[in-house]
Amino acid sequence: MASRIFALVRNRCLNVLRGDALLHRSMPSSQVCSIRGFRTSWVSRMFIQTQDTPNPNCLKFLPNAKVLEQGTRDFPNIGSAKNSPLARHLFRVEGVKAVFLGPDFITVTKVDDETEWKVIKPHIFAAIMDFFTTGLPVLDDGSASTQVSEDTQPREGDSETVLAIKELIETRIRPTVQEDGGDILYMGFEDGVVKLKLQGSCTGCPSSSVTLKAGIQ
């Protein structure tokens, strides 16, 4: 009898791990997805929270697991995700336009305003949980290919202005931007113009220009 009960519970848990997650909608500001089950290569419990970003088309997912060992990685389209099993897993969800990975978060961008989060969010939850049960690496090409803020490292020949800009980006702007589920890259300084590249939730964000002007000025 006990073995039969165990088998029933185990089968139910495996179904949960395949994506039939229990979504708790009691929290007004975020949704929580939790699973309990039997795993051989990871953990017996997973807890995912979501966090809104300034970009209404982007949502930040926070699993209770390390995503990248260091740095960030941007996948603006499915073609760029060939070296990331996790990103490819998420691109299988209909309505996902872009994926951005950070040390402990995953930012997902939906295709347009008409696509509703309440429709695709459960599928994203399931995709994340399903991936972490596979034991696959987040990146096929290893952590060395992650973006490790080398853009703001001081280099020979940098002027005092460039050094000040790099320090400002690294210490003040980048932490704020990553908290919002994105990143910012220093691309150069020429004729009084700072060239930057926005990634993740910052791409196409209505408030990105305000953030940059406030930080740089």
CB count within 10 Å of CB 94 equals: 10
* Phi and psi based region of residue 191 (left: phi greater than 0; alpha: psi -120 to 50; beta: remaining): left
Question: 90 and 105 share a domain?
Answer: yes
DSSP 91-105: HTSTTEEEEEE-SS-
**CATH number of residue 18's parent domain:** 3.30.1370.70
Question: 11 and 47 share a domain?
Answer: yes
CA 76, CA 81: separation in Å to the nearest integer? 8
Question: 130 and 159 share a domain?
Answer: no
Q: At which of 82, 117, 144 does a domain end?
A: 144
Question: 69 and 165 share a domain?
Answer: no
State whether residue 72 is helix, strand or coil.
strand
Measured CA distances, 61 to 139, 167, 179, 184 (Å): 18, 28, 12, 19
> Which tokens hold the place of 179?
């908290």
Q: Which one-letter amino acid corresponds to residue 167?
A: E
Compute the half-sphere exposure of residue 87: CA atoms within 13 Å on the CB side of its CA.
Answer: 25
**CATH number of residue 159's parent domain:** 3.30.300.130
Domain around 204: 149-216
Question: 98 and 177 share a domain?
Answer: no
Instruction: Domain count for the chain, please give it.
Output: 2
Q: Decide: pTM greater than 0.75.
A: no
Question: 97 and 187 share a domain?
Answer: no
Question: What pLDDT score does 128 carry?
Answer: 96
Question: 63 and 169 share a domain?
Answer: no
* Confidence class for position 7, pLDDT limits 50, 70, 90: very low
Question: 131 and 189 share a domain?
Answer: no
pLDDT tens digit sequence for 152-204: 788 888 889 999 989 988 888 888 888 888 788 888 888 888 888 888 877 77
CA-closest candidate to residue 153, choices 166, 168, 172: 166
pLDDT tens digit sequence for 108-142: 999 999 999 999 999 999 999 999 998 899 998 65
Q: At which of 109, 144, 179 does a domain end?
A: 144
* Phi and psi based region of residue 19 (left: phi greater than 0; alpha: psi -120 to 50; beta: remaining): left
Q: Any residues with CB less than 8 A from the CB of 203 and at least 6 apart, and which?
A: 55, 76, 98, 109, 182
